[in-house]
Amino acid sequence: MPDLEREPEIRIERPENPLEPELLGRLRQELERCPDVAFAHLPQVMVEGQQDRPGLVLFVWLTPASLSSLRAALRLVTEAVARVLPSDRFLDVVVLNSAPELLDQVEAAKCLLVERDPDERRRALEAAAENGDSHPEASRGPWWWPF
């Protein structure tokens, strides 16, 4: 019987099957145009008991100013992804501000795709190292919670 009390293990690693170089370059360009993205990573993720094989996940860290309009910021990011990927492919997008406890694992995968704001990335990493919470706004809950 599965242990319902235990959180599933999440493995975040460097991709075995990354995006093709052309798609990766176009995705990088599109995300660099998104004003709300401070930095983004594209590792592979495997969630224990949820998947047969790992999949690519786009982790984005949004600028502090965009946190008051997360839906608009997420819309811009998902539109950027949709412009790049063929209609038969997709990427899950995770707003890393809402899951700062994953920041260390995401960084360890060494899959930085975009760094539009190095100072914000440095602040996020310092905050994660200090208190396990990467941003004061992130501690309030997932992206869909009202701020």
CATH no. for residue 100?
Answer: 3.30.300
Q: In whole angstroms, give the CA distance from residue 27 to residue 94.
A: 15
Structure tokens at 86: 């063929």
In-domain check, residue 111 = yes
Alpha helix ranges (H) inside the chain: 21-32, 70-84, 103-108, 118-131
In-domain check, residue 56 = yes
pLDDT digits (tens, 9 = 90+) for 49-59: 887 889 999 99
In-domain check, residue 2 = no
Q: Could you give the number of structural domains in the chain?
A: 1
- The boundaries of the domain holding residue 118 are 10-140
In-domain check, residue 126 = yes
pLDDT digits (tens, 9 = 90+) for 90-133: 899 999 998 888 999 999 999 999 999 999 999 999 988 886 54
Angle at CA 29, nearest 5°, toward 138 and 32? 35
In-domain check, residue 1 = no
